[in-house]
Each structure stands twice: as C-alpha cells, then as structure tokens.
C-alpha cells in the first residue's frame, strides 16, 4: 500500500469528518456553547493564537511535560539500576513500586499541589513520578535478565562498573527500557494535564477547567486540539528514537 | 475406482503489479482409490495450487472436477507445511477439534482418535501443549488431526518441508505405514524427489509455469518400503529419471 | 504459596518502613500538619471515615461508575473492534484515527462531557467509557491480526461456520490481548472517574478528595488517595485473577 495513497485517504477522511461536523451544527441548530461549528472554532483558534496568550499556555504545558519526562527518565534509570544491584533495596522497594505502578498515580496530584503550590513545580513533580515508575521497573527487570555470559566476559577483561554499565548493561536493557519509556511518555501528557486541571494558573489543562467554568467550548476545543497534536508529536518522536536505537533488532 | 477426475483445470493469478500469471493450464488427472500420488515440479509451479483448488481453498478458472461422491469433497483431510495447531489446546484436544466442529463426537469416533494416537506414537503426549513439542511431533499431531474424521482422501502440502532430514525420514516411514494400514488415498506435494519416489505409487511431474502435466511416472517398487530401499538401483533409477525431467524444465 | 507468603511479608515490611520514614520525616523537619499530617492522624481519619455511611456511599458511587462504564466499553469495544478487524478496508481507514485517539490525552474530554451530559452520573460514566474503550479496540485488532492465514484456511477445510470460527479460533486468540487491555483500561477508568468527580459533582471518592483539598483537610485527602489506590489494586487484582483463569490462552502470544 503506497504511503501517498494512505495520506490521501486520511486527508479525505478528515475533511469528510469536518464537513459532517459542520453539517450537524447547522442542521440541528446547535448553540455554540454546546458545540461550535468548525468555522467558528477555527476563527476563534486563530485569533487566540495571535494574541500570544495561547502561546504561553502551550509553553507552560510543554515545559512541564518535557522537563518532567527528562528527569523522570533519569530518576527511573538511576533508581532502576540501584534496585537491580542491591538485593536489600529490591526487596524493600519492589513491593511498594509495584503497588504504585498499578495504582492510579494521578491520585497523588492533589498532594503535590498542596506541597509544591499551583505553579509549574507540582506538575513537573507529577510527571516525574508517573514517568519514572515504568522505566524503573523495566530497567531493573531487564538488568536482572542479562545473559551472565556477558558479565563474565566483562569480569575477565577487568572492566570497571561504569564500563560494564555502558557497554553491556545499557544496550541489553535498551529494548525493555524503551518500551517502558513509550508507556511512560504517553502518560506524561495526561499527568501534566490532570495536574493543571486540579490546580494551576496556566497551561493547556488550566484552559480546560477555565473553559469549563465559562462554558467556553472554543477554549476547551483549542486545548484538546493542541494536546492531541502534542500527543501525536511525542508518539512520533518515540517511534523515531526506537527505530534509531534498536536498529539491530 | 476413480475418486477424483480433474479435467483441463486452469488457474491464473493477478500479481501485485497487475500482471496476469498463468499458474496452471489444462491439467487433467484422475486419482484412483488407495493411490499415493506425489506431485513434484520446479518451485513456483502450481503444485500447491492444485491441492488448494481440490480442497476449495482456491477457485479455478476453467475445467471441471468430478468427485466420486459429494461426501468426499466435504470431508477431505489437509495437512499444511506449518502444523497450524491451536496453541492453547493439548495434542488430544487439537486432534478432537475437527470432530467438535463437524458435530461428530461419538464414542466410535473418539475410540478412533485413540487408535490414531497409538498409530502416530502420540499416546504419551496427549496432554502436552504444542509449545512443548518438537517440529516432528507437531506434524504428527497435525496428521492425526486430519484423519480424526476418517476422510477417504488426504491432501498434504509439503508437510515435512520444514523438518530436518532425520525426522523427515522417520515420518516418511510412518506415513507409508499409516497409508497401508488405514487405506487412505493420498495426494502429496513435495519438492523432495527421493521422498516422492519413496512414498508413492505414482509421481506426477509438473512443468514450469504455466504448469501442465509433464509426465506421470508409475513407481513400481515393492510394497514394503524401508529406508535401505533408497540405495537400490531401481530406486536410484527412478530418482534420476525424475531429476532429469525436472532439470529439463530449468 | 510460599511465594505469596514471601511477597506479603516483604510488602508488610516495606509499608512499615515507609510509615516509619514518614513519621521520622515530619518529626525531624517539623512539618506543619496541614502540609503533611502524621501517620497516626491519617490513620485516625481513615478509621473515622470507614465508620461513616457517607464514605461507603461515595465509594460505591465511584465503584459503580467505573464498573458500569467499563462494562459498556467492553461491550461496544468488542463489537466495534471485531467489526473493524474483520473488514480490512474499514480497518485501514480507521487505523490512523484510532492511533490519534490513543495518543491524545482523553482526559481532556472531561470538561466537554460535563457540559454535554451535566454534572451528574452520566458525564462520569461517559468519561470512564471513553478512557477504557480504545485500548479494548486496539487489543482485538492486535489479536485478530495475529491469526495466521493457515489457521483460517484450516477452519475452511473443516467447513466451520462463522460462529465456530469466532468461538473456536478468533475468540481464544484474542483473549490474552483483551485481558491485557483490561488491565490498562481499568486503571484508566479509575483515573477518569476520579478526575471527573473532582471537576464536578457531589459524590464519589474524587469529590471527597476535591472537598478535602479545598478545606485543607490533609488527613482526609490522604485517606481519599489511599482508598483510590486500594480500589485500583483490587480491580487490577480482579483482572489478573481473570487472566490466570484463562492462562492457557496466553500461549497465543508467540
């Protein structure tokens, strides 16, 4: 199936859906606080974009997501490493980690807002929390599974801990860790948004609650539109990184 | 007694870039009861296609196929190259599955399944899952499964193609023994000439695409076939004759 | 059994250590009570809560939202997923849409649903539905896509009818994927329900936390969080048990 054909079909589908949307709002004479027509929405959106206010909301959420994801990955990998290496830590932390992993970590959001305030910090902390867990668990489980043959070789060559990590452990753990990262990243945006919905002064999630309070569906839709784009963008980045790093699979 | 009469069967395909490829053209073959017919030919010719047409997995463009009775058509056995066992069912459950589908589970048929398990040396593995089985055992299960509803005709599409030589030899012996004991009519597609000569009463040689029947060789070898037979001059003669025919094609 | 004992022992030990560290932290750093109350205070609040009827009302409200919404998403997810999976043209067209819906934070739809369906039960139900719906569809498409051509051909040889193909081949092949998606879906459902309740409404565990938060009642907030986590673990555990029941079908995931 040619790629260009798929794109054409996709564009046609999107256009058809937008046309359907327009038709529905017109035929059923739907009030714009309930569902604005596409025309109305895009006019609003471009105006909003031009005022520059939208840009600051976008950058707030982007900051939270990217900084949070970055540090989440770092924390996840560091802790994952230590958990794999220390039996004590593993027995102590693993049960808690697994409980936290399966529970809705978002529940902590109100606490973070209480502790870190309405600003960016609480959301970044939330994203770090959400992102670090899958990575921590993926890495510690991957490290433990590494073929002992590799580690024995390393021993024979008197490699130090850092060398063992970078040359054997990291590459072998890569596959599982990257899967963990993909899972974590998809949740990063959701976490940032939820954090903003629960208490914030800016950001795309904040726009959602603001729009809800004022029954301004245009504002809500703008936020949803941008968040979806962000989600798509992050997903594509992950795909590209995965392909580049795991070229040998 | 003629079981199947194929008259002037032709089949063409449209390839991915729109070309029309004539796979088989004007193939006529009659299959008698109790025969073991192997179909060999250069790769890419319609060996498998013929089998799939017979089993209605594929349609044909022209010609006709006459079955001796309707029941034959709806109840034939098929063994693929891949054993296609259901991974969550045990050996026994896999073999019994066709009976479930055909609503044929009776004390008689289940007793027959027990016989098949014995025949195919699967008794100890009846509760094993496919993942615990070797390639050879999986194919044995597949064969037993294809016989569970007692079809008169068995179609086999390169069933041993993915197995190692030793396993293949063992299974060839078992298949030959099975054939003689159960008195099935078997149509067997293979690319292995020796296998074809070892197992068959007749060997059909297909030509290159568009495949027609290049020749049909009757294998006049003793009923009892052992692996040592393969070193006898008669056997070797057949093999080189057939190889010669195949080499002409390329 | 031995393994289970071990796990439980370690879990109890870690939780105890966790509580001790917590107590130590607030003692050493003299943390104000409304920022982080002591374990004892929280414990007292928990006991206080579980002796009140209103608490159970809230828990049941949320639980019913989650279960009902999840059940709806299972029914529609399975039906629509199967339909899409069996029709290659439709599948090709809907794949990009499905991917798009999967990567966008569906949680953002909550305000819209509140505007459309009101502040009550209905909007929460819809949120739960949307959150768990898409993983289920994805799982069926994955499961069906994994079935080899030869399997279908073999069913054709046996002259199996549509229903037999569904029950004997397609359903067993999809089960492990569907159950995996349940694990993801049920947690998403809880998240959706709690956040939706936080945004609007007068009942539910999410509402309880929102109320606690706005009244700076930290012990209550932490209690709410703890019970939400407990709910998540219980439901997740339920699905895992289900998975064990269908352990045999895991073989499909080669």
Q: Which residue ranges make up each domain of chain C?
A: 1-31, 37-252
Closest Cα in chain C, distance from residue B55 (Å): 7
Query: Which among B87, B97, B98 has the least Cβ separation from residue C252?
Result: B87
Domains in chain B with CATH codes: 2-76+152-249 (3.40.50.300), 86-150 (no CATH)
Q: CB distance from A117 to chain C under 8 Å?
A: no
pLDDT of residue A147: 62
pLDDT of residue C77: 95
- Tell me how crowded residue A162 is: count the other CB atoms within 10 A of its CB: 8
pLDDT of residue A215: 85
pLDDT(C2) > 60: yes
**Best of C154, C175, C252 to disrupt the B interface by mutation (most B CBs within 10 Å)?**
C154
Put residue C204 in one of left, alpha, beta given phi > 0 → left and psi -120 to 50 → alpha: left
pLDDT(B225) > 70: yes
Going by C-alpha positions, the residue among A116, A108, A104, A107 that lies closest to residue A200 is A116
pLDDT of residue B103: 92
DSSP state of A181: H
pLDDT of residue A167: 67
List the single residue in B with minimal CA-CA distance to C158. Answer: B98
Tokens (6 digits) for C70: 């999840």
Query: Which among C93, C107, C108 has the least Cβ separation from residue A13?
Result: C93
Model pTM score: 0.86
Choose between C2 and B124: higher pLDDT. Answer: B124
CB contacts of C104 in chain A (<8 Å) are 224, 227-228, 231-232
- Tell me how crowded residue B216 is: count the other CB atoms within 10 A of its CB: 12
Work out the pLDDT band at C1, boundaries 50, 70, 90. Answer: low
CB contacts of A234 in chain C (<8 Å) are 103
pLDDT of residue C29: 87
Tokens (6 digits) for C5: 């004992």
Q: Does ipTM surpass 0.90 in this model?
A: no
Q: Which residues of chain A, if any, have pLDDT below 70?
A: 1-3, 147-151, 164-165, 167-168, 172, 248-249
Strands of the sheet containing B202-206, edge to edge, are B77-79, B153-157, B185-189, B36-40, B202-206, B213-218
Chains that touch A (3 or more CB pairs under 8 A): C
pLDDT of residue A2: 63
Q: How do residues B52-92 score in pLDDT, each as one tens digit?
A: 999 988 888 989 999 888 788 888 899 999 989 999 999 99
Query: Which among B55, B88, B100 has the least Cβ separation from residue C157?
Result: B55
Q: What is the DSSP string of chain B?
A: -EEEEEEEEEEEEE-TTS-EEEEEEEEEEEEETT-EEEEE-STTSSHHHHHHHHTTSS--SEEEEEESSHHHHHT-EEE-SS----TTS-HHHHHHHHHHHTT---HHHHHHHHHHHHHTT-GGGTT--GGGS-HHHHHHHHHHHHHTT--SEEEEESTTTTS-HHHHHHHHHHHHHHHHHHT-EEEEE-S-HHHHHHH-SEEEEE-SSSB-EEEEEE----SS--GGGGGSHHHHHHHHHHHHHHHHH-
List the single residue in B with minimal CA-CA distance to C248. Answer: B88
What are the sequence ranges of the domains in chain A? 1-30, 40-245
Going by C-alpha positions, the residue among C179, C189, C198, C195 that lies closest to residue C232 is C189
The whole-number average pLDDT for the span B189-194 is: 92
Distances (CA, A) of C142 to A134, C77, C162, C221: 22, 13, 20, 40
The whole-number average pLDDT for the span B8-14 is: 88
CB contacts of B56 in chain C (<8 Å) are 156
CATH superfamily placement of domain C37-252? MetI-like (1.10.3720.10)
Whether residues C157 and B82 touch (CB distance < 8 A) is answered with no
CATH superfamily placement of domain A40-245? MetI-like (1.10.3720.10)
Q: CB distance from B98 to chain C under 8 Å?
A: yes
Question: Do the beta carbons of residue C90 and residue C83 sit within 8 Å?
Answer: yes
pLDDT of residue B15: 81
List the single residue in C with minimal CA-CA distance to B89. Answer: C248
Q: CB distance from C166 to chain A under 8 Å?
A: no
């Amino acid at each position: 199936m040619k790629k260009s054909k798929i794109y054409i079909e996709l564009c046609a589908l999107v256009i058809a859906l937008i046309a359907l949307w327009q038709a529905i709002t017109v035929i059923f004479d739907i009030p714009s606080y309930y569902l604005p027509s596409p025309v109305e929405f895009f006019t609003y959106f471009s105006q909003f974009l031009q005022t520059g206010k939208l840009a600051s909301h976008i950058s707030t959420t982007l900051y939270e997501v990217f900084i949070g994801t970055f540090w989440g990955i770092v924390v996840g990998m560091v802790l994952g490493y230590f958990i794999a290496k220390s039996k004590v830590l593993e027995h102590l932390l693993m049960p808690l980690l697994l409980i936290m992993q399966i529970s809705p970590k978002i529940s902590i959001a109100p606490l973070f807002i209480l502790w870190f305030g309405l600003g960016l910090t609480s959301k970044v902390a939330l994203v770090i929390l959400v992102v670090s867990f899958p990575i921590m668990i993926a890495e510690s489980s991957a490290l433990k599974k590494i073929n002992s043959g590799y580690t024995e070789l390393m021993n024979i060559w008197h490699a130090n801990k850092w060398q063992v990590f970078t040359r054997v452990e990291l590459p072998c753990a890569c596959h599982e860790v990257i899967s963990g990262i993909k899972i974590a990243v998809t949740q990063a945006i959701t976490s940032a948004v939820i954090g903003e919905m629960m208490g914030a002064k800016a950001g795309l999630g904040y726009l959602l609650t603001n729009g809800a309070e004022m029954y301004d569906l245009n504002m809500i839709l703008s936020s949803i539109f941008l968040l979806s784009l962000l989600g798509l963008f992050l997903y594509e980045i992950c795909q590209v990184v995965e392909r580049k790093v795991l070229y040998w699979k | 007694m003629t079981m199947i009469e194929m008259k002037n069967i032709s089949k063409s395909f449209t390839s991915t870039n729109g070309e029309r490829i004539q796979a088989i053209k004007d193939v006529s073959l009659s299959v008698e009861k109790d025969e073991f017919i192997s179909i060999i030919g250069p790769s890419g010719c319609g060996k498998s296609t013929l089998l799939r047409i017979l089993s209605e997995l594929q349609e044909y463009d022209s010609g006709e196929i006459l079955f001796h009775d309707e029941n034959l058509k709806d109840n034939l056995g098929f063994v693929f190259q891949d054993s296609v066992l259901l991974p969550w069912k045990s050996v026994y459950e896999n073999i019994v599955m066709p009976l479930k589908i055909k609503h044929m589970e009776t004390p008689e048929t289940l007793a027959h399944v027990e016989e098949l398990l014995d025949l195919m040396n699967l008794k100890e593995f009846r509760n094993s899952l496919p993942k615990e089985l070797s390639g050879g055992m999986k194919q044995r299960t597949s064969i037993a499964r294809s016989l569970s509803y007692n079809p008169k005709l068995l179609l086999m599409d390169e069933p041993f193609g993915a197995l190692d030589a030793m396993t293949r030899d063992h299974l060839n012996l078992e298949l030959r023994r099975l054939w003689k004991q159960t008195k099935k009519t078997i149509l067997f597609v293979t690319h292995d000439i020796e296998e074809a000569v070892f197992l068959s009463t007749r060997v059909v040689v297909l030509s290159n695409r568009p495949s027609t029947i290049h020749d049909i060789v009757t294998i006049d070898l003793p009923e009892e076939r052992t692996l040592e037979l393969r070193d006898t001059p008669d056997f070797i003669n057949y093999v080189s004759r057939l190889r010669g025919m195949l080499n002409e094609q390329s | 059994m031995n393994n289970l004992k071990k796990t439980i022992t370690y879990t109890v030990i870690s939780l105890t250590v966790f509580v001790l560290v917590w107590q130590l932290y607030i003692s050493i750093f003299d943390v104000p009570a409304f920022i982080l109350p002591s374990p004892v205070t929280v414990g007292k609040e928990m006991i206080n809560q579980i002796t009140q009827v209103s608490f159970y009302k809230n828990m049941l409200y949320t639980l019913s939202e989650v279960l009902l919404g999840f059940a709806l998403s299972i029914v529609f997810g399975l039906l629509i997923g199967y339909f899409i999976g069996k029709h290659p043209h439709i599948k090709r067209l809907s794949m990009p849409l499905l991917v798009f819906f999967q990567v966008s934070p569906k949680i953002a739809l909550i305000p819209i649903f509140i505007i459309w369906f009101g502040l009550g039960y209905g909007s929460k139900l819809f949120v739960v539905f949307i959150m768990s719906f898409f993983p289920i569809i994805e799982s069926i498409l994955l499961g069906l896509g994994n079935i080899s051509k030869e399997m279908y051909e073999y069913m054709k040889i046996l002259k199996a009818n549509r229903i037999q193909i569904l029950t004997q081949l397609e359903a067993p092949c999809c089960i492990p994927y569907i159950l995996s998606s349940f694990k993801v879906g049920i947690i998403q459902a809880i998240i959706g329900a709690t956040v939706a309740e936080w945004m609007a409404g007068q009942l539910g565990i999410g509402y309880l936390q929102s109320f606690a938060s706005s009244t700076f009642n930290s012990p209550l907030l932490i209690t709410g969080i703890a019970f939400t986590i407990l709910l998540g673990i219980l439901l997740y555990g339920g699905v895992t048990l289900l998975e064990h029941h269908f352990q045999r079908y895991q073989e499909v995931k080669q």
